[in-house]
A and B are shown apart, each in its own frame.
Chain A
Amino acid sequence: MRLPALCPGCGHMTAGAPLSEIDVLVAGGAAAGLCAAIAARRAGATVHLVESAPRALRGGNTRHARNFRIAHDGPAPWVPDAYPADAFLNDLLRVTEHATDDPVARRLIDGSADLPGFLIDNGVALQPTSRGVLPYSRRTAFLLGGGKAMINALFATAVQLGVGVSYDTALAGLHVEPGHCTAELRRDGSLTRITARAVVVATGGDQADRAALRRQLGDAADTVVVRGTPHADGSGLRLLLAAGAAAAGTPGLGHLVPVDARGPAVDGGIVTRITGIPYGVVVDQHGRRVADERADLRRTHYAQWGPRIAACPEGRAALVLDHDGLSRAAPTALPPVSAPTLAGLAAALAIDPAGLDATVRDVNATAEARGGRPIRVPPFAGYPLVAGITFLHHGVAVDAAMRVRLRTGGIADRLLAAGGIMAATVLRRGYLAGLGVTLAAVSGRIAGEEAARVATR
């Protein structure tokens, strides 16, 4: 065994410890990276995982996730009824408008059926549907305590299995050579070079990189807030592309949702999302109505509102509700701005009062004539809105073993990609609830097994 010398427990490399040669290097300490590291280690490889975030912020966007989509043929304690693999694939084809890589999608969907078992075997707790207040969902299973609880459990299992873990350590260089890869790791500004027989890059997307956002979304990027980890800076993606990886996805597309403008600039997660749009009226800063709030009442409606808000002047808008509308909306992390009159609310939200007044009159007149939801009962409430980015629809292309496809047409057999970084292979547009974690965990597991296979061959 050539296990790297580590400071046991704390997971940091001990100063000067030789971390020179290992079987599998995994970059990224979230769902994909952890599943890869655990799978590779269980397959007998020596594994080291580097996570660019400090320990307290390990787990990337996965920390913010709640449920994941699984194919299954019958009920289990954590999921009712059935969701056959074919139905899963049909849903994926529908939302992507067939913009997917079929064999890879099938492999991942088949893998989703074993995912609950794999996670449970590795210490993750799933929430039985009988506990708490879960909505009915035959397509997704819920993580007890959410994504961070899963991350904690997977890290504990990985360390217990002997996976070396370094926090605050980023993959900063990558060279594919015959028979092995050479990687550069950056910690506290200094670089260490190591040799690995295979590398799994599971560093997520580049949605937290302003330059990338700007390239993809144009001017709108400046006001967009990042819903997840600031560490999704695209460093891994750039390294793969520089190593010759083929790009996948649709430039310019991203999953954008309305979020509370008062929330944090990064890592606001699920709680700053504003879902009460169907109960009120959305106006821009001139008080002009942005779109019909009740035209689409599906649970995924908010994904259409992100781009609309990003397109408003200065990328800002506001949701205005009356007392009745507010009582129907889901609770929000920050209390709404509140005022006894519409004019007062407009002032507090920095919206043109005349414009808002005209819009509300119009909404109320329509509501009276054709039925609908008037904005009438004080006090009035409002949320300032901006668009929040979940992920961008681009990354690298992989084959069904998660090996990176090269622009030249071949595949890199020692270079694997898993999770958000390769999601665009199968998800070039659209989104399905619970897909992110499933793609990450299943691709991670496959990549880890494949990496161990080529590394220990």
Chain B
Amino acid sequence: MSRPADTPIDAATEAERLLRICAACMYCDGYCAVFPAIAGKHGFPRADIEHLAHLCHNCRGCWYACQYAPPHPFAVNLPRTLAEVRQESFARHVRPRWLAGAFARNGRVAVAVVSAVTLAALALVLIAVPPEILFGVHTSGGAFYRVVPWGVMTAAAGLSFAWAVVAVAAATVAFWRTIGPRAPLRIVLRALPAALADIVTLRNLGGGGHGCNDTGEKLSGERRASHHVLVAGFALTVLSTVSAALLHHVTGAPAPYPIVSLPVLAGTLGGVLMLVGIAGLAAIETRADREPAAPAEIRMNIVLLALLAATAASGLAVLGLRATAAMGLALTLHLGVVVGTFLVLPATKMLHAPFRAAALLRAAIDRLIAPPRRSGGE
């Protein structure tokens, strides 16, 4: 009946036990997409469990509301169990497969790779770039490339970025193969707008409209808001990079750009927003109730937050220091952090974004194919 205390049990088996109880109960159906997706279901194949685990946005609403939470013998802890399934599921879908080992230790790997790449970059620059250039004050166009040659910079950033994109995409394809419904393209396209809306608004991190249990029993919208700020900031930094590349290639004007230019404005605002969002998420992460969380997931969240924070902060440092003698080192540091982050990204929690997007798409497709069965009270 309850989760056996001393026998190790794999997360998917435990999730199946809980999802059965939830499907019989359904009191939490207003919180998120997970419950409508299990309505009326008598059994949960492994693929469905993985789908549901990523569909869960970890809002913890169903933990505080659960009449079967411990000390009840049913010992229902759905958020933690689904977080454990997510961990296993990420590990199984990491591509290339040999990254699974790095995924399991992604904190240590991230620190090792990012510091190794950064230190190597600094060492190279210190050796290869004459001090009067490295520590000079540059004001003209092309200043950055006097420290790190354009070709080297684009090759390092471009290649590491391509690696991250290809590996994350391969993992996502593998995950979609696991969970993907056999639906005709017509249905997939019809499901897309609803899925996109869920992805962009993070509706499922809204606790049914009243906020989530971000840190405890009290409801708040902080986590969702901080995530929005982080993603908005992230999008602006992407805009900054893309616009800089365009300026470089189309107008032929090399960086650095004036303060009032798209790359600088978007980059500054983006970097600041990212740091604000990250600070908000990190604060919640440290205050949050540990009971409904999986320790491994908390660690992964913190690793990703740290990588993104280092990227944003070092980027802002380049902007702030670009007219000083420290520009050369700041630029090298930023480049090292960015390249290191891209290298480890496919083995981090960054996978959550495309995996959750895939789960939301499947949920939207399922809602079209088989509208959920309704359930009542007493």
Binding site for B on A (CB under 8 A): 56-57, 63-67, 125, 127-128, 131-137, 140, 142-149, 152, 156, 262-264, 267, 269-271, 273, 299, 326-327, 330-335, 390, 433-434
Contact = CB atoms under 8 A, between A and B. Distances in A.
Interface of B: 1, 20-21, 23-31, 35-36, 39-43, 61-62, 64-74, 208-210, 217-219, 372-378
Interface on chain A toward B: helix, strand, loop, or mixed SS?
A: loop
Contacts of A270: 24-25, 27, 377-378
B78 to A, nearest CB: 12
Given A132-B29, A133-B35, A144-B30, A127 B20 contact: no
A48 B95 CA distance: 59
B67 A133 contact: no
Contact of A331 (B1, B24, B62): B24
Contacts of B43: 335
A253 B31 CA distance: 37
B26 A145 contact: no
A156 B71 contact: no
Contacts of B377: 65-67, 140, 142, 270, 433-434
Nearest to A267: B72
Contacts of A146: 25, 27-28, 65, 67
Contacts of B64: 145, 148-149, 152
A270 B26 CA distance: 10
Contact of A269 (B35, B62, B68): B68
Given A65-B378, A132-B35, A433-B377, 14 more contacts: A56-B71, A57-B71, A67-B378, A125-B208, A132-B36, A134-B29, A145-B27, A146-B67, A156-B218, A267-B72, A269-B67, A269-B68, A331-B41, A333-B24
- Specify which of B25, B69, B378 lies most central, judged by the most chain A CB atoms within 10 Å of its CB: B378
A332 B1 CA distance: 13
B74 A299 contact: no
Contacts of A326: 42
A127 B208 contact: yes
Given A128-B209, A132-B30, A269-B67, A331 B378 contact: no
A140 B377 CA distance: 9
A271 B25 contact: yes
- Specify which of A140, A149, A264 lies most central, judged by the most chain B CB atoms within 10 Å of its CB: A149
Nearest to B18: A333
Given A269-B67, A330-B40, A433 B374 contact: no
A221 B66 CA distance: 29
A156 B217 contact: yes
B199 to A, nearest CB: 18
B341 to A, nearest CB: 38
Given A127-B30, A264-B73, A333-B74, A133 B65 contact: no
B216 to A, nearest CB: 10
A147 B29 CA distance: 13
A134 B377 CA distance: 9
